[in-house]
Structure 1
Amino acid sequence: MNIHVQDAPQRALGFLITQASLIEPQVYATKYQDIQYPSLIPVDTSAPEWIQSVTYFSGDAVGAASWFSGKAQDVPNVELLREKFETTVSMAAIGYRYDLEELGKAMLLGMNLNADKANAARRVSEEFIEQVAFLGDTSKGLTGLVNNGSVTATAAPADGSGSATTFASKTPDQVLRDINGQLTGIFTGSLGAEMADTLLLPYSVLLDLSTRRIDATNQTTILEWVERNNIYTRTTGGRLDIRGIWGLDTAGSGGTKRMVAYRRDPSVVKMHIPMPFRFLPVWQVGPILFEVPGLFRLGGVDIRRPKSVRYLDGI
């Protein structure tokens, strides 16, 4: 009987290793529909897994062409203004565990372990990355997409009802004007080179725009009207992607609601994840306790061309 008890942990470990090889492919294939960072921020996994930091340059070109005589010597030149930035890459972890009793029951009944614990660990890792992607992490000195200090932040005009700045206090025309002002601000700031194709709003503002009609007799909501009449769609024929995300209700100056307009392109914004989430081999961490660690390594969000991103506060 003593031999049987002593052998139990080794048999349980072997059983868990076999089960993990079945569970992990299922977990890696799972997509979480409400995790938005992969569809809103270009992700780069090309850097070496154990790299300590990623260096990038944020630049802008200055200069203009002008009329020129064939006998002249003062050819106008373009100059590149480049600033070096470095993003630290750090490691994070989340895993799951089983005790000998749980594994023993499964072995006795001939049952496979379900993927619930592994899925929960992977889900927690995605929520962590989502938080860093949008809001950054002060403990690591990281900012996110919605609170980068290099991005131009302007206050919404105070011409709503009662001189308020919020979209809820404004007419459909005023809301469209404020949104188009941010889109054209990027167009002007980049000297006509690009225009924002993505707009992020607090969920509360998105809900208001998606349920409030443009007038008492028209069934069209303000959101639908904005989607059709914004300057990006009118200029390019493309669809302006308008999304609601968490964290914008207090991201603006003075804790106000913030709108983010940007061009969703790796040359503008990028997040480095050199080591995507992975499970390590199962190991025994106690006399009757077994653990499957999960690791991932990531940096913050790099806004490489700040003029291609704009914030509007007080909406």
Structure 2
Amino acid sequence: MKQYDAVSMLAFVENQRNHIETEVNKTVFPEIVYPDLVPVDNSAPEWTKTITFRSAETFGNADWINGNANDIPTAGNKYGESQSEVHMAGVGYAYGYEEVQASLAYGVNLQNNDAIAARETYERFVDKVAIAGDAEKGMQGLINTSGVTLESSAKTFLTSTEDEILAAVNKLISGTAADTEYQMAADTLLLPYSVFTYLASTPLSSKEGGTLLSFIQRYNTYTATTGQPLTVRAISRLKNGGTGGTIDRAVAYSNNARVLKLHIPMMHKFLPAVQVGALNFVVPGIFRLGGLEVRTKEAMRYMDGV
């Protein structure tokens, strides 16, 4: 059987990379939640060193004016600024000498399993940073951003009546509404898995039918005032996510780009294949991440002890 030299092998791996990357980009990872929970911003240049975070507070009101007036009421935003570094990270995949020789000899494609694993690892990494931040890089996440108003639940949801649970949820929603002058009421509620499961599987005590979860979704103040459904999701990291790391936390917020953004100047990309040592061919993967920016903290609320 023909023995292929290193140059031929490297060229083959690189050719396969282009084919495999197309397949990898089509792969969906349903357990990754950050794209649904936070707006993603890729607008910054890939190699930018910092992202400027701008917190905004709207000011101004419309008013009656004279038809010949020069003093037109104006509205605008007052901005506070801070900067966050953009950090580089990476994950790739590799093929062994034997695998590449065999694929060449039999005229078959290289397997894409490891490439898919690399992309999934990237998605899990970003998911963790978006939700919980990264202490090493000084990043905060969706569930632990400083400066967000923290409420305390009088009782856990598992020991509360259905009316008490609804009141707690509406307290979160109404708090965000009031603090944003009723412009950005929370439309998303995140709960620990155990709490979400309890709500989704516990029937109402009344004869109305449905579960505690459907009761909350039907009668929350966001839906009542807007006619739009309240998004309720289970997030595993909210287990012991409260103060001190011993109590569960709920999060309510308005999911729009005026409130929060996840900055990813460079999404995960595979670089050209390289030979590493005598028997390995590596396809590096890199990405650059600026972390989560909460622009309007008034549109977010935490509740511990749920």
The structure 1 segments of at least 4 consecutive aligned residues displaced by more than 6 Å after TM superposition are 63-68, 75-79
TM-score using structure 2 length:
0.92
Q: Does 1:207 align with 2:204?
A: no
Maintained 8 Å contact 1:57/1:83: yes
Q: Does 1:271 align with 2:268?
A: no
Which residue pairs with 2:275 in the alignment?
Answer: 284
- Partner of residue 46 from structure 1, selected from 43, 56, 62: 43
Per-residue deviation at 1:254?
Answer: 2.7
Give the stretch that moved more between structures: 185-194 or 231-240: 185-194
Gaps of 5+ in 1: 69-74, 159-164
Per-residue deviation at 1:81?
Answer: 4.6
1:251-262 correspondence to structure 2 within 5 Å: 251-255=241-245, 256-262=247-253
For 1:188, what is the secondary structure of its paired residue?
helix
Q: Quote the Cα distance in structure 1 between the aligned partners of 2:225 and 2:75.
A: 28
TM-score using structure 1 length:
0.89
Distance 1:63 1:111, change over 3 A: closer
Q: Quote the Cα distance in structure 2 between the aligned partners of 1:216 and 1:230.
A: 17
Maintained 8 Å contact 1:143/1:300: yes
Q: Quote the Cα distance in structure 1 between the aligned partners of 2:281 and 2:185.
A: 53
Per-residue deviation at 1:79?
Answer: 8.9
Per-residue deviation at 1:244?
Answer: 0.7
Per-residue deviation at 1:218?
Answer: 5.1
Q: Which letter does structure 2 place at the counterpart of 1:172?
A: E
For 1:185, what is the secondary structure of its paired residue?
helix
Which residue pairs with 1:72 in the alignment?
Answer: none
Maintained 8 Å contact 1:16/1:282: yes
Which residue pairs with 1:24 in the alignment?
Answer: 21
Which residue pairs with 1:187 in the alignment?
Answer: 177
Q: Quote the Cα distance in structure 2 between the aligned partners of 1:276 and 1:106.
A: 30
Give the stretch that moved more between structures: 26-35 or 204-213: 26-35
Q: Which letter does structure 1 place at the counterpart of 2:24?
A: V
Gaps of 5+ in 2: 66-71
Q: Does 1:175 align with 2:165?
A: yes
Q: Which letter does structure 1 place at the counterpart of 2:299?
A: S
Q: Which letter does structure 1 place at the counterpart of 2:228?
A: G
For 1:193, what is the secondary structure of its paired residue?
coil
Per-residue deviation at 1:194?
Answer: 2.1
Distance 1:8 1:202, change over 3 A: same
Which residue pairs with 1:162 in the alignment?
Answer: none
Q: Quote the Cα distance in structure 1 between the aligned partners of 2:60 and 2:6.
A: 72
For 2:5, what is the secondary structure of its paired residue?
helix
Q: Quote the Cα distance in structure 2 between the aligned partners of 1:15 and 1:65.
A: 66
Per-residue deviation at 1:86?
Answer: 1.0
Kindly provide the CA deviation profile for residues 158-185 of structure 1, in whole angstroms up to 9, marking residues without a partner as x.
Answer: 2xxxxxx200000000000000010000
Distance 1:218 1:84, change over 3 A: same
Kindly provide the CA deviation profile for residues 17-59 of structure 1, in whole angstroms up to 9, marking residues without a partner as x.
Answer: 1211111111012121111101110000011000011113213
- Partner of residue 53 from structure 2, selected from 47, 56, 59: 56
Distance 1:43 1:79, change over 3 A: closer
Which residue pairs with 2:124 in the alignment?
Answer: 127
